[in-house]
Amino acid sequence: MGQFYNARLNIGYAKAVSAGHFLSKDATTKTYAGASLNNQLFYSDNIVRAGWLNAATVNADLSHSISYRAKHSLLVKLSIPLFGVNSRLPYHNTISSPRPEADIKTFFKKGSRFASLVNFQNLQLSASYEYAVSKKLALGLHYSGQWLRYEHEKPITLFQNNIGVMASFK
């Protein structure tokens, strides 16, 4: 069956665009809008799958947080790429260069293409819930999901879900 590997680096900025109360005075909400730079590397060791794909994108981000009585907090975030540069192995999964260059350099030089919402979709959704056990410790659950579609050469579709338990020390 093979393994699928994924690494991500994300740097972003968000600004609060609204704040208020949710159902009661004990629950406060904030909505944030912003942008992020995201680099994601995918690799599959299964010969049938697409091999290497690197996606470097500029994203629009929207997040919403709800806090209830300083003990409960919920955060939901959506990230959508606006444009970027994708690097992908050709469908035959091999790269070569007439010059004595490194394989990684050839991968980025020959396999990189501009991508936009027209031919590349990479919707990322995350949600986390935290319960403050004490002033210094919070426990919670975190979900992240991703739907990716890239149309160049042979289409790739990826749907990925992750659920985890988290502990925050403050």
Distance of CA 139 to the CA centre of its chain: 23
pTM of the predicted model, to two decimals? 0.80
Q: Distance between CA atoms of 107 and 96, rounded to whole angstroms? A: 9
pLDDT value for 153:
72
Q: Encode pLDDT of 123-132 as tens digits.
A: 999 999 999 9
| Tokens representing residue 44 in the block | 């599959």
Give the chain's radius of gyration (CA, Å): 20
pLDDT value for 100:
62
Domain 4-169 annotated CATH 2.40.160: yes
- Adjacent-strand bridge partners of 71: none
Residue environment code for 5-23, b if the CB has 16+ CB neighbours within 10 A, otherwise e: eeeeeeeeebeeeeeeeee
Sequence-separated (6 or more) residues with CB below 8 Å from residue 128:
74, 75, 140, 141, 142, 143, 166
Of 10, 3, 91, nearest in space to 42 by CA? 3
pLDDT at residue 169 tops 60 = yes
Q: Distance between CA atoms of 144 and 138, rounded to whole angstroms? A: 19
Domain boundaries, the chain: 4-169
pLDDT value for 104:
65
